[in-house]
Structure 1
């Protein structure tokens, strides 16, 4: 190949390589650290678990206050999960579609609780205890997350979860 043609071919190859690199850099910008991705998965897990526990409460409880709380959990956490899915899609993070093992265990335990004891068990375990854990995690996440979008999600969800803690405490006291 003549030097001029070789120079043109190399220039084209370099331009293509630079374009591919620029495209790769753009895709890389959509990814996040493993820690931030793990927290995003954790946020999804919390939402999934509350939706599933709420559905169980709607089926097992006959208490209108428990049913109203469960409906609020389903509605609020469905909305939270949809927002989490949007952030995850933008960050190339695959989210789970079912509760993690700890929440599957909790669901099995709640399912085994006799009907006359279910309302209190649900209010204390899926309501108060689980929301206290999630709230503490979100507050920690807000201070530690590096990705601005994931941090914004945690910041947006935190007041809702704080409200759920208070509502769950009131419910647990009411159903004693």
Structure 2
């Protein structure tokens, strides 16, 4: 009887240690803050693409339409790169927008054609200021070298978007906070 209990205990210990090792291997050691950055960047990137598509169809100013097209192209490319990176790191990306991003899309979708350009460009300045700040912090604080490299590669593009958004916001008379 004691021998049977010992064998069961030994098997249980083996199974438990195997499961624990598999869990650590699946995680690949990615820090929680690195995962949070990836997920936040993915949601923001999805929003940029969706808003860019909206701008392509709804904007009246041709420059605003072109800016929207650039958002679809640039953020679409970055999203694909991030998707590949997330798969390598076993990080599950969100499949739908965060509530705050969904709210922004819904608000702009309801805007009249006359007010869309101003609201969109105002939001793009605000959002890209936030993105540039987040990506700058990530280049300093992210632990994983591949995630950090992606953030470093993406940051200059976001800085260009911010500059272009600020210039275009001024042209269309958008209120920038």
Q: TM-score, normalised by structure 2?
A: 0.82
**For the structure 1 residues 27 and 59, does the alpha-carbon distance in structure 2 shift closer, same or farther, using more than 3 Å as the test?**
same
Partner of 1:8: none
CA deviation profile, 1:79-119 (whole Å, cap 9, x unmatched)? 00011011100000000122211011111111122210110
Q: What is the CA distance between 1:159 and its match in structure 2?
A: 0.3
Partner of 1:117: 115
Q: What is the CA distance between 1:26 and its match in structure 2?
A: 8.3
Partner of 2:56: 58
Q: Does 1:159 align with 2:156?
A: yes
Point out where structure 1 has 5 or more consecutive residues left out of the alignment. Answer: 1-16
Q: Does the 8 Å CA contact 1:54/1:74 hold for their aligned counterparts?
A: yes
Q: What is the CA distance between 1:73 and its match in structure 2?
A: 0.3
Point out where structure 2 has 5 or more consecutive residues left out of the alignment. Answer: 1-14
Partner of 1:174: 171
Structure 1 residue ranges, 4+ long, deviating more than 3 angstroms after superposition: 23-26
**Distance in structure 2 (CA, Å) of the matches to 1:150 and 1:58:** 31
Q: Does the 8 Å CA contact 2:52/2:72 hold for their aligned counterparts?
A: yes
Q: TM-score, normalised by structure 1?
A: 0.83
**Distance in structure 2 (CA, Å) of the matches to 1:56 and 1:98:** 17
Q: Does the 8 Å CA contact 1:30/1:90 hold for their aligned counterparts?
A: no
Number of residues of Structure 1 aligned to a counterpart in Structure 2: 158
CA deviation profile, 1:1-52 (whole Å, cap 9, x unmatched)? xxxxxxxxxxxxxxxx9xx79x849834734111110111011111101001
Q: Aligned-pair RMSD on alpha carbons? A: 2.0
